[in-house]
Amino acid sequence: MPELPEVEAARRAVEEHCSGKRIKKAVVADDPKVIDGVSSSEFEAALLGKQIVGVHRKGKNMWLLLDSPPFPSFQFGMTGAVYIKGVAVTKYKRSAVKETDEWPSKYSKVFIELDDGLELSFTDKRRFARVRLLTDPTSVPPISELGPDALLEPMTVDELAEALSKKKIAIKKLLLDQAGIHPLETASKLPKEKCATLHKCIQEVIEWAVQVDAESSLFPLNWLFHYRWGKKPGKANGRRIDFITAGGRTTAYVPALQKLSGGAGALRADDKQRRQTSKRKKGSDEVDGSASEEEEAKESVKVKKQQNPRASGRKSSAKKKPDVSNDGSDDPENDESDEDEERKKVSKTVKKKEASERTSKKKSEATGTTKKHTKRAK
């Protein structure tokens, strides 16, 4: 999902290209799941004629400061993204809209045309983003409930150590890091020197990512980011990458660099997590081929039905209601990654297919046996 650097890159792009200009046209999607607490018509009316005087961000929330309230606020969620026509803006890969796609995108939630003709759009493929119209975005949730911004209000080493000392959960669940700390390390047990290392790495990673506008190809080659989801088992700078589950997420780490303290009990827990994750990944790899065939078959049937509506036994409708789902999921957002969700869906589909094949095979065998008995009787 988009992280702080991606949202900061979007903020900077909007500030550079849109500040000082007036909103000539606004089109807000009729999608109450994303457009929170206000109708699309009210939202549009609140934007028309207003001048953009600034663009602000805290955490993964961005809002436009207009010449008078209320102000549009964007919580990016899992696939929120900002597009400015003709301007390159870094986007999270899963939310990317191709240049060849229609403009504005069918996934657009807020489209704005400025007085000089420049156009921008906030899109959200999976509809986990939230767009609000607020008088003071910083005084109400979710922004009012956020801690210090890691870029704008960095904590000191002592403040970080104090905060971690109160958290008796795995550090990965609390904080995803690049600091050579084992993902299952208990946050409250981190010694001061490791807190200092974590603090230093947080600042370095965020500052570097923001400096290159979150363009991942420009991240340092020694970052685990480049190797963790490649060929498995993989290596990072010659060292083995292992996979475990931490905080409900598949987690890559380098055992040679990220060692778990806490004695034999902690090491056994680490080994158990690694074996369980390995089994799950092996199962996912085994079903990939069958899943692809199943998806292709479904797509083929779908295309045939679209080409010949009567084949489905239903009359085609002349009018079609607008689809606000935008290919998104209505399931509530949870802690699992997109990859884990996709694997579950694939596994479920393949199991159904295998069960159907077994049933067909049994029916076929039963039919063959019946025919043999009939011939003998004759």
- Residues annotated as catalytic are 2-3, 60
In angstroms, the CA 61 to CA 59 distance is 6
What is the distance in angstroms between the CA of the first residue and the CA of the last residue of the chain? Answer: 69
CA–CA distance, 60 with 76 (Å, rounded to integer) = 6
Distances (CA, A) of 255 to 48, 182, 229, 261, 270: 56, 8, 16, 12, 10
CA Rg, the chain, in Å? 26
> Residue written as tokens 């301007």?
87
Q: Could you list the beta-strand ranges (E) of 91-161.
A: 108-114, 119-124, 130-134
Q: Would you say 252 and 307 are in contact if contact means Cβ atoms under 8 Å apart?
A: no
**CA–CA dist 26, 24 (Å, integer):** 7
Which residues, in sequence order, are CB contacts of 54 under 8 Å at separation 6+?
A: 15, 19, 64, 65
Measured CA to CA in angstroms, residue 185 lies from 16, 191, 225, 228 at distances of: 42, 11, 20, 19
Q: How far, in Å, CA of 360 to CA of 354, rounded? A: 10
Query: How far is CA 361 from each of CA 14, 47, 59, 372, rounded to the nearest angstrom?
Result: 60, 63, 56, 17
Residue in the structure block whose two tokens are 């990458």? 241
Nearest-angstrom CA–CA distance, 301 and 338: 26
- According to DSSP, the β-strands at 52-58 and 61-66 are antiparallel
Instruction: Please list the residues that pair with 114 across neighbouring strands.
Output: 23
Neighbours of 267 (CB within 10 A): 14
Between CA 367 and CA 361 the distance in angstroms is 10
The encoded tokens of residue 208 equal 């570097």
SS3 236: strand
